[in-house]
Amino acid sequence: MVSALTFFKNSFHSAYRCIPAVLSQNYAKVLTSSQVQHDQSMDKKLAELTGDPTDEFIHLHDTTVSPAGKPIDEELCVREDSELHKKNAEDKNPYGFHDLFGQQHLSDLTLKLTDGDMPVHRCVLHSSSSYFKKLFSESISPAVMDMSSYNPLAYRGFLQYLYKIPIIEMECEDMIDLYVLATSYEEDWIAADVFSKLKSSISPDNVLRLLDKAKATKSTELELECHKFINAPEFKKSLLEFASENMDVLTEILRLFSKSRS
């Protein structure tokens, strides 16, 4: 038995094929003969492979043998294939909607926020948000929509999600408003991601402010997470150490804590 690897190219279709196999002596001779014929006529039509010794090539299914006769690392193949698909997707749309965010170019809708007008694109909102998809489908929306009742920073953050732009930095209070907004719009994928960010951002420095804001916005899940953090032994210890250094701070903490309990 000999280890053989036959490689050939279809010059018309630019397709590469690789046939790995462990072949018998007879088949090895056939491969050698057929390779010579192929080199003499590159544009010759490729033969149908059946496995008969008279065929030009032998087609073996589900064979994974490297040129050295060693098994191929299937995990590597899967990983490389996944990376190739990812790269192809990025090549098709490398910037997503980043370059349209906040731009008048191609904008066909304006959202009025308390800190200024925000140009947006119906096609982006329609494709990224079930809320806007339903809104645009049910009625003809005006060219300008008033969103001034919302926290403008939270609303811009919401739009960043729709335009596939990561939120690098946002105050916790604004993020809570973003969480409430996403929940009210039933955009669960945004609400879940924002809640995860809020949960991981809870610290001794902001937990009471977050709890106070969560109470005001009726964000019960966030309230629960804040209470869990407060009731942890580590927080109680750090709170006492910090408050003992400043009675004014202790008084304010107790006021906020009492208010959050009511």
User: Do 197 and 175 form a contact (C-beta atoms < 8 A)?
Assistant: yes
**pLDDT tens, position by position, 81-90:** 455 444 444 4
Question: In this predicted structure, what is the pLDDT of residue 215?
Answer: 93
The three-class DSSP label of residue 141 is coil
The answer on pLDDT for 107 being more than 90 is: no
Q: Which domains does the chain have, with CATH numbers?
A: 2-92 (no CATH), 96-200 (3.30.710.10), 202-262 (no CATH)
pTM (2 decimals)? 0.57
**pLDDT tens, position by position, 120-172:** 999 999 999 999 999 998 878 789 999 999 999 999 999 999 999 999 889 99
CA distance 201 to 195: 10
Q: Which whole number is the average pLDDT over 215-220?
A: 92
Q: Which residues contact residue 116 at a Cβ distance below 8 angstroms, ignoring those fewer than 6 apart? A: 152
N-term to C-term CA, the chain: 84
Question: In this predicted structure, what is the pLDDT of residue 260?
Answer: 60
Band (204; pLDDT cuts 50, 70, 90): confident
CA distance 66 to 111: 59
The answer on pLDDT for 249 being more than 90 is: no
Concatenated DSSP letters for 103-126?
A: --TT--EEEEETTEEEEE-HHHHH
CA distance 14 to 175: 52
